[in-house]
Amino acid sequence: MDDSQCAALARTWWQTLAAADGMRVPDDIGYQQLSVLIAELSAALDAEPFDVTVGARVGAALSAAHLVDGRVPTVSAQVLYGLAEYTARPDAGRRLAGLLVALGQGHQAHLDQSRAQQYSTEDSSREEQDGRYRILFDNTAVAIAIGDTNGTLLEANRGLADMIGVPVEALRGISVYDFAHPDDRDDIRAVLYDELVPSGEGTVRLERRLVRADGSVGWMSFAISYVKGADGQPDYLLAIGADITEEHRLQLELRRQARHDPLTGLPNRRYLLERIEELIAAADESDRAGLCFADLDHFKYVNDRFGHGTGDKVLVAVATRLHDKLRGYDCLISRLGGDEFVVLIPPPATTDQITAIANQLLSVFPDPITINGQQLRIAASIGAVITPIAGANAESLLDAADASLYYAKTNEKGHWVLHTLQAPT
């Protein structure tokens, strides 16, 4: 956000405050002072790590400048929501909501401190201002929660209540762990009480599962900031969040699509390599894995004679048979592309185990495959390897299985060959 944009928004902000019915804007408050505050908020939107307390400091600065009307935070928010237009951050809305809520808190805290020094009682005025702050808190379009440093919710808005499916009143006094997924509670506790609370400052981000009131499971994304209490008040945690269940589902679906063959639904080369790399990373020197590299014999003839549509149906039928035959075996079946299928046998793989799997693979093919009333006889050749995997290279293991396959096809199609590899040096 450049200086001219800050100045333009500051002018709009000043005019909006001045136009509010009965609100007094001190004569010494000009565009320049508001422009400086806008620049601070704009910088906070893009800052890493995100510091929500910038909003509280801006709110306190407004009160200190004698903008003491209780409507200042709400009126200001009408203008300051426009800051989201000046950043490309996808989470700008959530960050800005947190800053504006903190602005309201900072404004109110400074007013309270000032009144404590000047007056003994102003209950009606305080109640009116709290009501205006509540309007801002409750009607912002994100989930907001304020909790103590032990994780007990002190305040929550409708956004959070709607996310969980309970009334707002049901959230006050409960622990943040009450709606967290049981499997995620330890992670949340570690982030909050091993990182955020001990440091006494900063912001952490959490994307974890929540359990709604109806028992369904969703995903939430929260930025949780540690906020110092003003004027002797206790410190607290401010959480700004959103329901990202649909985004998470789409991410999982995109990940699944990127790692699975669209024709057969089997894991693809990318998935297979990732799994091999995981096994390599976790392996010790005694761990051995196996690979069976299967290639359909004369499959080009099927495509040329009957068309690629029939060829695709054959591949789907083969994939189904492989899946059914190897059900119960500890292995991963994948399609690399074309007519190539690979079976990964994780540690502790043995020669007997690979022999059994290779024989099961070959047993898939004697029975003809019927496509559109046409019976097609399909055969396959298989190259198998068994090898130590500690320190190995995933691509090299595939190449070794491919070389074994080449040997099998060169000598006699429709059978399998096993090679035992030595540990990499």
Give the pLDDT of residue 261.
Answer: 92
Give the pLDDT of residue 150.
Answer: 87
Q: Are residues 309 and 225 in the same domain?
A: no
Give the pLDDT of residue 66.
Answer: 84
DSSP-derived 3-state class of residue 315 = helix
Tokens standing for 69?
A: 């009307």
Q: Are residues 129 and 151 in the same domain?
A: no
As a whole number, the mean pLDDT across the chain is 83
Between residues 230 and 212, the one the model is more confident about: 212
With 60 as the cut, is the pLDDT of residue 314 above it? Answer: yes
CA–CA gap between residue 177 and residue 179 (Å, rounded): 5
Between residues 130 and 208, the one the model is more confident about: 208
Boundary-marking domain end, from 208, 239, 256:
256
Structural domain of residue 170, as residue ranges? 142-256
* 171 touches 161 (CB < 8 A): yes
Q: What is the pLDDT of residues 359-396, one digit of tens each?
A: 888 888 888 898 888 888 888 888 888 888 888 888 88
DSSP conformational letter for 244: -
CA–CA gap between residue 294 and residue 381 (Å, rounded): 6
Print burial letters for 114-148: b (CB count within 10 Å at least 16), e (below 16).
Answer: eeeeeeeeeeeeeeebeebbeebbeebebbbbbbe
Short-list 69, 55, 39, 40, CA closest to 101:
55
Boundary-marking domain end, from 117, 141, 165:
141
Q: Are residues 229 and 276 in the same domain?
A: no
With 60 as the cut, is the pLDDT of residue 109 above it? Answer: yes
Domain membership of residue 148 (yes or no) is yes
Short-list 317, 287, 291, CA closest to 302:
317
Do strands 143-147 and 236-243 pair parallel, antiparallel, or not at all (unpaired)? antiparallel
Report the number of distinct structural domains present in the chain. 3
- Tell me which range, 110-119, 167-176, 393-402, is most confidently predicted by mean pLDDT: 167-176
Question: What percent of the chain has pLDDT above 70?
Answer: 87
Do strands 288-297 and 332-337 pair parallel, antiparallel, or not at all (unpaired)? unpaired
Q: Are residues 133 and 118 in the same domain?
A: yes
Boundary-marking domain end, from 223, 256, 289:
256
Q: Are residues 243 and 361 in the same domain?
A: no
Print burial letters for 252-281: b (CB count within 10 Å at least 16), e (below 16).
Answer: eeeeeeebbbeebebbbbebbbebbeebbe
Q: Are residues 156 and 103 in the same domain?
A: no
Q: Are residues 166 and 59 in the same domain?
A: no
Domain membership of residue 425 (yes or no) is no
CA–CA gap between residue 263 and residue 319 (Å, rounded): 10
With 80 as the cut, is the pLDDT of residue 408 above it? Answer: no
Give the pLDDT of residue 397.
Answer: 82
Give the pLDDT of residue 300.
Answer: 87
DSSP conformational letter for 4: H
For residues 274-301, give the mean pLDDT. 88
Q: What is the pLDDT of residues 176-199, one digit of tens each?
A: 888 889 999 999 888 888 888 898
Give the pLDDT of residue 128.
Answer: 47
pTM recorded for the entire structure = 0.57
For residues 120-130, give the mean pLDDT. 45
Domain membership of residue 311 (yes or no) is yes
Residue 158: pLDDT band (50, 70, 90) is: confident
Give the pLDDT of residue 358.
Answer: 87
